[in-house]
Structure formats: C-alpha cells, structure tokens
C-alpha cells in the first residue's frame, strides 16, 4: 500500500517535463539559423524587438519587454524572428533560451519549480558555451498560462522574473501574454518597478504589412511610404495643429502619394482583399494568398475557433467575468451589426440580462484588453446612452458573421461597412503613433460625434486637441461627410480634420483641401500611413 502511494505521488509530480524538452524547443543550439522556417518578411511589430538598420533596441532601458495580443497575431513568430535576426547578426545561439508554456500542459504544473529548473539547466549546460559577457535572452512564451491570480499565497512567475533580472544585469526577458493585465498584475505583485519593463501590444497585421507582402517592390526606398514624418517633424500633423497651417502637412501627404502614384491601381485593388481576409488570416498565409478568393471556409473556421479558445482560456484571469459565453455572444453581435449603428446600453442590458455596469465596466474592458473588440462612445458625452461595437479585425467580422470571401468581394455595401471597421482599427494605431511620437499619453481613445448635419466617424486627440476624421467610402456621401467635419471644427475649434475618400474621382487631385482646415486624401493612402 505504501509503495502504491509513493507511485501515485510520483505520478502527480510534473518533474522535469520542461527540462527534458528544452533542446526540442531550442533547435538553434545545435543547428544555428538552419533551425528556422520563418516568414520571409517582418511585419511592423518586429521593430519593437530589434532595429535591423540602426543601433539600439527596446532592451536598452528596460530589462523586461512584454508582447501582448490575442492568439494568432504572430507573437511566437516574432520571438523566433528575433532569435534568428540576432544569431544571423553574429550572436551565439546559446544566448537565447525559449520556453513555450502553451506547448504542453505539463509545463503549467508546478510551473515555478519547472521554470527554475529549466533556467538552471540552461545556465549550467548551454549558456557557458557562449562568449564571455555575452548578454542573455530568456523568452517566456504564453507566460500567462502559469499565473496564479486566484492563489495569492503561491509565488507566481513574477517572483522568478524579478529574481532573474536582479541576479544579472546583462540578462533580458521577453514575455508574451494575451493581455496587458496578465503582465502588469504579476510584475506589480512581485514588486518589479514599472521602469523595469515595457508592454507592447501586438495587433493583427495592418494594411501596409499585407501590401508589402503582396508587392515587396513597394517596400523599396524609392516607393516605401513611411508614417514617421506625419507623426513628428515640421510637416507633421502635430505641427499643423500647433501652427494652424495645413500647407506643410498637405505637401507631405502629396509627396507620399507621388511615391506610389504609379502603383495606385495595384494598391487600391488590394484593399477589398485585405478587408475580406483581415490581419490574422493574411499574416498566417504569409503572401501565399494574394486574393481572398483563394481562401477556404477552414480559414474562417480556424479564426473563429481561435477566438473561442482565447475567450475560454484567457478570460478566466479577469476575475470580474462571470459568464464568459456572454463575451462570445457580444462579439457575434458586433460582427452582425458591423458597427453600422450604436447600441443603447439599455438594449444590451435587456438582451444579456445583466446590469449596465457589467456591460460597461466588465465585459467591454475584458474584450478591449484581449484586443478583440472596442466599445466606442460619443465624443464629449460624459454619460453616453449607447456604445458602438468595433471588432478589431475585418477577417474576424466575416468569420463570426458566417460570410465567405466572395460575399465581401461582390457586395459593395458589405465592403464599405468593413472599410469603416478597418479605418477605426487603423485610426487607433494612428492615434497611438502620433501621441507616442509627441511623448503624450499614447493610450488612444477614438470616438465618434453626431452633429446637426451628420456624423463624424472618428475623433481622437493629440494632446488635448481633437482631430476629426470623416470616411466617404462612397463618393455620394462626400458632401454630407464634409459638412459634418466642418460643423465639428466650428464647434470645437479643431484646426485639422481629414476626409478619407474611398472612390477617387477621375481627374481630381488626390490630395486637396476642400475647405480651410480639412485635408482630403485617398482611403488606401490613409491606411498606409497608420
């Protein structure tokens, strides 16, 4: 009986499952760069990790960098691209330890002990082969899988992370998780200083990354359209706001247009393909699919299944969520509505049989944290009665709505609705980039505004100055959109506004100022600049 009991206890011990698999997860220790099978190009998020064409990296000031985003956005691929890049640049393969905690459920048992054992093994058996004083990079993928949020008496991974960076000054940690809160909560509980880490969101592939995959020639120096000069500098949006003069900004936009003017038909033709696929599917295929017509129903099914898995596996870390199925239903509702109109909070209360606080302070923040859905309220309204629901990926909209790629490609109304959703997502990125470049609070808040003459689709602030953006994807809506923008500017004394034209009028100037204070530019060019 005693012997059986001991055997039973041993069976419950996860033991060295992680250590035993280290070489399988780190094949570059033996094979160098030959161990990798990676996408040929880097999406923009890669530059959170490395600066291939300049000195410096995200690790210069903070020893911990966290990448957060929902599953399928490419966090693991980014980690492997980083390792490949550094080894290819001359670093020793032994400088990099990669631990994927989602690869085997056994890694998540007695996780703090297993993590410690794995690092000890690496230090004693592998790292010693690297040159003296070579920096050490420990990459902990899906670290949130081993958190103990509901067990405060158990030391979580944050304690080990704090010990690791305190022990060695040239040791760097790269963490991935699904949400910011999964990182900040654990590090805060472990008394890690906020100055010691940075959290970078990883989002679905944006239009410029997809376009450069399909047409790599557009990424060459002569045709590459960079958003940097729009975010900061003498001809930037902030400069135009400060000066109240749009001449420099308009000239800068014109210059960027002229770089790719010859390719305009090619670029514009890819807009609908991107809207049909979205940024998850397009990234997974890595250029193998140039048209949404090549997709199958399995592509959308996999996307839908990934979201469902993310909700049921990642949301439990948000203690305020009682009914996770409601989050899935809320996403499905957003997909069906396609942000065409706002929902009154009272409608949602009755539909989900919960109070307003649960919707506004629990459901929507959780979905925002997971970068799945953002609830948008009316600008300058301290007590909004309604909320507009924007899913953050057009491919997910199509997947949850049960639409095929052909439905999007052959239905201009559906295309226009998805164009608004993509414009919202890219405006969130644009707002972040502009404010970060100005060292303002980079956390973007994008809202809409209703006036007497019409609606302004998006409003964000640079500092404390509002910037209205109107979308006229159909040419017939241009005049109404322009009137709403002018009314907003008159109401809030906003010096700069944008009108995004979906249908470019033959013979008309692509970059123009239809009225004082408003710059009109093609929809596709705006996506490229976000």
Question: pLDDT tens-digit profile of 22-43?
Answer: 999 999 999 999 999 998 778 8
The pTM (predicted TM-score) of the whole model is 0.91
Given its phi and psi angles, is residue 436 left (phi above 0), alpha (psi -120 to 50 degrees) or beta? alpha
Question: pLDDT tens-digit profile of 86-119?
Answer: 999 999 999 999 999 988 888 887 777 888 889 9
Structure tokens at 57: 């990296």
pLDDT at 505: 52
Q: Among residues of the chain, what percentage have pLDDT more than 90? A: 66
Q: What is the mean pLDDT of residues 277-302?
A: 82
pLDDT at 72: 84
Domain with CATH 3.40.50.300 in the chain: 16-201
- State yes or no: pLDDT of 350 exceeds 80: yes
Structure tokens at 13: 């011990």
Question: pLDDT tens-digit profile of 451-503?
Answer: 999 999 999 999 999 999 999 998 888 999 999 999 999 999 999 999 999 97
- State yes or no: pLDDT of 232 exceeds 70: yes
Residues 6+ apart with CB under 8 A from 62: 195, 196, 197, 198
Q: Which CATH number fits domain 16-201: 3.30.70.3450, 3.40.50.300, 3.40.50.920, 3.40.50.2020?
A: 3.40.50.300
3-state secondary structure of 356: helix
Q: Among residues of the chain, what percentage have pLDDT more than 70? A: 90
Distances (CA, A) of 493 to 84, 177, 295, 380, 497: 50, 41, 47, 14, 11
């Amino acid at each position: 009986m005693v012997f059986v009991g001991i055997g039973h206890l041993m069976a419950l011990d996860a033991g060295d499952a992680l250590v035993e698999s280290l070489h399988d997860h780190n094949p570059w220790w033996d094979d160098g760069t030959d161990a990798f099978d990676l996408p040929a190009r880097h999406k923009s998020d890669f530059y959170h990790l490395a600066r291939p064409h300049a000195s410096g990296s995200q690790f210069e000031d903070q020893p911990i960098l966290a990448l957060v985003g929902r599953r399928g956005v490419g966090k693991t691929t980014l980690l492997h691209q980083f390792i490949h890049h550094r080894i290819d640049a001359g670093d020793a393969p032994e400088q990099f330890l990669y631990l994927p905690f989602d690869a085997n459920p056994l890694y998540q048992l007695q996780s703090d002990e297993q993590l410690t054992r794995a690092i000890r093994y690496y230090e004693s058996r592998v790292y010693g082969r690297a040159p003296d004083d070579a920096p050490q990079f420990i990459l902990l993928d899906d670290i949130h899988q081993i958190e103990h949020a509901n067990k405060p008496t158990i030391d979580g991974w944050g304690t080990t992370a704090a010990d690791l960076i305190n022990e060695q000054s040239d040791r760097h940690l790269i963490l991935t998780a699904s949400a910011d809160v999964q990182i900040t909560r654990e590090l805060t509980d472990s008394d890690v200083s906020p100055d010691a880490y940075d959290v970078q969101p990883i989002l679905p592939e944006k239009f410029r990354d997809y376009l450069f995959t399909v047409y790599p020639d557009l990424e060459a120096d002569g045709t590459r359209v960079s958003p940097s000069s729009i975010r900061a500098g003498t001809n930037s949006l902030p400069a135009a706001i400060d000066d109240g003069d749009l001449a420099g900004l308009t000239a800068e936009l014109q210059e960027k247009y002229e770089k790719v003017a010859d390719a305009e038909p090619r670029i514009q033709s890819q807009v609908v393909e991107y809207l049909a696929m979205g940024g998850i599917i397009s990234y997974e295929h890595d250029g193998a699919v140039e048209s949404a017509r090549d997709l199958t129903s399995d592509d959308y099914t996999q996307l839908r299944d990934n979201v469902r898995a993310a909700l049921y596996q990642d949301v439990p870390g948000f203690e305020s969520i009682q009914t996770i199925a409601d989050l899935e239903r809320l996403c499905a509702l957003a997909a069906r509505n396609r942000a065409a109109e706002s929902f009154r909070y009272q409608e949602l209360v009755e539909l989900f049989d919960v109070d307003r606080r649960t919707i506004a302070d629990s459901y929507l923040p959780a979905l925002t944290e997971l970068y799945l859905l953002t609830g948008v309220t009316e600008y300058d309204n301290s007590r909004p009665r309604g909320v507009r629901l924007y899913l953050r990926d057009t491919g997910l909209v199509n997947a949850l709505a049960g639409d095929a790629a052909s439905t999007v490609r052959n239905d201009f109304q559906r295309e226009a609705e998805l164009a608004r959703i993509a414009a919202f997502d890219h405006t969130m990125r644009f707002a972040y980039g502009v404010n970060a470049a100005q060292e303002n609070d980079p956390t973007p808040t994008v809202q809409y505004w209703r006036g007497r003459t019409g609606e302004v689709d998006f409003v964000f602030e640079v500092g404390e100055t509002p910037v209205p953006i109107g979308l006229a994807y159909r040419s017939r809506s241009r005049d109404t959109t322009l009137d709403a923008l002018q009314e907003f500017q008159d109401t809030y004394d906003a010096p700069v506004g944008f009108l995004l034209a979906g249908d470019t009028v033959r013979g008309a100037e692509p970059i123009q100022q239809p009225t004082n204070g408003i710059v009109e530019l093609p929809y596709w060019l705006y996506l490229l600049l976000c």
